[in-house]
Chain A
Amino acid sequence: MPMIDLDRQTVRELNAALHRLAPDTNETLWEVTNSDGKHAIGAGVDAPIEIHIKGHVGYYCAGMNKQASICIHGNAGTGVAENMMSGVVHVMGDASQSAGATGHGGLLIVDGDAAARCGISMKGIDIIVKGSIGAMSAFMAQAGNLVVLGDAGEALGDSIYEATIFVRGKVRSLGADCIEKPMAKEDRARLAELLRRAGVEDGDLDEFRMYGSARRLYNFHIDNIASY
């Protein structure tokens, strides 16, 4: 198992080694120590490997991830798993703002809380936050699912296009054009599957409420002419 000590090697060296991996690599289990909040750890990985980062990470950890399963044994800074394409990123502590921003695919699991703008402009990623999320989360979200076991901050789903938000706790306020929707059978099945993938055992589906787009911002509306 490759073990990288970031007190001895640079993040650039780590990332270069990860980028060199062939799709059929045998080096499938990596461990990174002394992360100490350094930025861009494990960004741009495109290989079916598992990486354990034993500590807190800085900005953009696991950004653009493809295929890899990356576990952060600590807190993550701004933009963890931003623009993820596929794979799994698991933050065992808290995540800072813009977690999973613009993500196209894959699964982001945050065991603690995620700060403001979680899932901003998400484009297909699934995000599960076991704690609470901050203000302006899922802003302009386009596709994917955001599941929150705790509470949501102000202006949830502001200007949302098409993504689904499930919240178990309280929502402080909904943003423009975000509304609560009735949960259909398919929605419940999708939620159950997401909870299962995140290892949530006690997920009573009836405790969740679902939010999405009212689709009133899609087109110019003549009734709003006076606002311009």
Chain B
Amino acid sequence: MCGIVGLFLKNEQLQPELGEHLSRMLATMSARGPDSAGIAIYGAGTDDLIKLTLRAADTDMDRDLARRLGAALKTPVDLVRRSNHIVVTIPRVLQSQALAWLREHHPEIHLVSAGSRMEIYKEVGLPERVADQFALPAMQGTHGIGHTRMATESAVTTDGAHPFSTGADQCLVHNGSLSNHNAVRRGLKREGFVFETENDSEVAAGYLTWRMREGDSLKQALTSSLVALDGFFTFVAGTRDGFAVLRDPIACKPAILAESDDYVAFGSEFRALAVLPGIENARVFEPEPATVYAWERR
């Protein structure tokens, strides 16, 4: 059992409240996943800059790190700390250089995600506490996805927490378990993918990233995952401007969607949606099995 929440705003006026609503939704799903929680949030950003979300526990080194990384890249580096995560913003063209520098000088720092707009925060512990730890309620943005995990396939670790990100601005959360992830992982490794965990959901994220790298849209990538991935799943995926939902053909794992003029909201259970403003006027429905639901920001 796991819990998923997602919120994709259509009404720009709600953007300052994104984190607040997501936090409340996430808290309602604690019972479905008390082991760990994670959030992907799509906030402000520009195409020429990239935000690296890094897990770096040592809070004393921030200023020094920004200075040294900036010197190595020959550009000022913006660094924002949220608990044990930091977000480092650098010019996009310097991304691989920055990551190489970090690997060499700070192997203890772990890359969580990269993207022009997406930041990912995840940690073990009760979802409500995790949300507060990262000050999620104050975050702003256009869309976000959260996950509460009850671990089945691999250990309760921060690395095993969702969302998984295997490409810039791409993230995936998963409720369920895949049975052919080892075979798919081997295939993706041949395509050059490097996996950080033994987790089945990371493989699904990698698969979608691979499909989109090959030219698929998010919707097309999810459609082909119906053939490639075997197992139980409810997926919620995010890209820089997109948000999508897919359930496996048997639809074992719960899912409920609400759509209004203001937003599209996803919850594993209706309880997660009940906290949203205007939910009584939204169209509430269960996504059909093996059917991709996708929304794109214009």
Q: Which residues of A contact B (CB under 8 A)?
A: 36-38, 56-59, 75, 77-78, 93-94, 96-97, 115-116, 134-136
Contact = CB atoms under 8 A, between A and B. Distances in A.
26 contacts: A36-B270, A36-B274, A37-B270, A37-B272, A37-B274, A56-B270, A57-B270, A58-B269, A58-B271, A59-B269, A75-B284, A77-B269, A93-B284, A94-B284, A94-B286, A96-B256, A97-B251, A97-B254, A115-B251, A115-B286, A116-B289, A134-B288, A134-B289, A135-B250, A135-B251, A136-B250
Interface in B174-218: none
A78 B285 CA distance: 13
Q: Which 6 A-B pairs have the closest CB atoms?
A: A37-B270, A36-B274, A37-B271, A56-B270, A37-B274, A115-B286
Given A115-B251, A116-B251, A58 B286 contact: no
Measured as residues with beta carbon below 8 angstroms from the partner, the interface class of chain B is 10 to 19
Nearest to A34: B274
A78 B254 contact: yes
Given A56-B270, A135-B289, 20 more contacts: A36-B271, A37-B273, A37-B274, A38-B271, A56-B274, A57-B270, A58-B271, A77-B269, A77-B270, A78-B254, A94-B286, A96-B254, A97-B251, A115-B251, A115-B286, A116-B250, A116-B251, A116-B289, A134-B288, A136-B250
Nearest to B28: A37
A136 B286 CA distance: 16
Contacts of B256: 96
Interface string B227-258: 00000000000000000000000110010100
Contacts of B250: 116, 135-136
B269 A37 contact: yes
A165 B289 CA distance: 22
B262 to A, nearest CB: 18
A75 B254 CA distance: 14
B29 to A, nearest CB: 11
A134 B288 CA distance: 8
Contacts of A77: 254, 269-270
Contacts of A135: 250-251, 289
A94 B256 CA distance: 11
A58 B286 CA distance: 13
Nearest to A93: B284
A156 to B, nearest CB: 15
B285 A58 contact: no
Given A115-B251, A116-B251, A94 B271 contact: no
Given A96-B254, A97-B251, A58 B289 contact: no
A97 B254 CA distance: 9
A6 to B, nearest CB: 11
Nearest to A37: B270
A135 B252 CA distance: 11
A78 to B, nearest CB: 6
A56 B272 CA distance: 12
B200 to A, nearest CB: 23
Contacts of B288: 134
A75 B289 contact: no
A56 B284 contact: yes
A118 to B, nearest CB: 12
Contacts of B251: 97, 115-116, 134-135
Nearest to B251: A116
Contacts of B271: 36-38, 58
A136 B251 CA distance: 11
B246 to A, nearest CB: 15
Contacts of A116: 250-251, 289
A2 to B, nearest CB: 23
A97 to B, nearest CB: 7
Contacts of A134: 251, 288-289
A36 B285 CA distance: 15
Nearest to B247: A116
A77 B289 CA distance: 16
Contacts of A94: 284-286
A75 B271 CA distance: 12
Contacts of B284: 56, 75, 93-94
A75 B270 CA distance: 9
B192 to A, nearest CB: 38
A97 B272 CA distance: 18
A115 B269 CA distance: 14
A113 to B, nearest CB: 8
Contacts of A93: 284
Contacts of B286: 94, 96, 115
Contacts of B285: 94
Interface string B27-60: 0000000000000000000000000000000000
